[in-house]
Structure 1
Amino acid sequence: MNKPDSFSSFQAFYPYYLQEHKNRTCRRLHVVGSLLVLTILLYAVVFGNWPLLWFIPVVGYGFAWVGHFFFEHNKPATFKHPIYSLMGDWVMLKDVLTGKLRW
């Protein structure tokens, strides 16, 4: 596995991302946060309630960071790899929803 500071692609990063999300409660909090982000986004668009969009990073990162700090006991990958980490959140959500990854 690559060192946490050296990734040449998202494909190389994702196994590391999954390694940092071994704790089921942490993964569950990521899934809940991501689904809430989608819910807020949909609600804001449908009802034109644009100020709600300010809550997206709070909800998304809030659930994820609680998972990391209190259950996984590691630092979120967002701190060193923000783009790949954001991509990882959505790929992990897809993997959970399609049954490829246990949650």
Structure 2
Amino acid sequence: MSEQRFQSYEEFWPYYVAMHSKSATRWIHLAGTLTGLAVTTYGALRRRPRLLLGLPLIGYGTAWPAHFLIEGNNPATFGHPTWSLRGDAEMIRMMLAGRDDELSEIAAKWLIEHPEDAPRR
């Protein structure tokens, strides 16, 4: 299924998780997002406008290379930026709650049902 054909976030979610099928990719996302959030928060509190770019620059700057180098796919952000941001937040919440194995199961199920979305490697 092409990512352009999703009609709702609920349809998109398992695809999003599948594009993060490797635990290393998810943990890099978590580290980049939380680091970027910390830098942005610090910038807001200290009134340092340049640091407000921390979240997008550090977050995407760590996440996108993980897709190319670890996952072997393109970031889902390219097709659905808003849903991808929501998916990233949901994925990180699950990881922080100790549910990383559940994400692996969601990804594996999607990739079995949609082999065309499997990594190119």
Match for 1:100: what amino acid?
Answer: R
Structure number having the greater helix percentage: 2
- Which amino acid in structure 2 is aligned with residue 15 of structure 1? P
Task: State how far apart, in whole Å, the 1-side matches of 2:2 and 2:74 are.
Answer: 15
TM-score when scaled to structure 2? 0.77
Offset at residue 100 of structure 1 (A) = 2.0
Distance in 2 (alpha carbons) for counterparts of 1:66 and 1:35: 17
Residue 54 (structure 1) shift: 2.4
User: Which residue is 1:97 aligned to?
Assistant: 96
> What's 1:39 paired with?
38
Q: How many residues are treated as equivalent by the alignment?
A: 102
The within-5 A match list for 1:63-102 is: 63-102=62-101
**5 Å matches for 1:15-34?**
15-34=14-33
In structure 1, list runs of 5 or more residues that go unmatched: none
- Point out 4+ residue stretches in structure 1 off by more than 3 angstroms: none
Moved more, 20-29 or 68-77: 20-29
Deviation at 1:80, TM superposition (A): 0.8
How far apart, CA to CA, are the structure 1 residues paired with 2:25 and 2:2?
Answer: 22
Q: TM-score, normalised by structure 1?
A: 0.89
Greater shift, 64-73 or 93-102, is seen at 93-102
Cα RMSD after superposing both structures = 1.5
% identical aligned pairs: 37
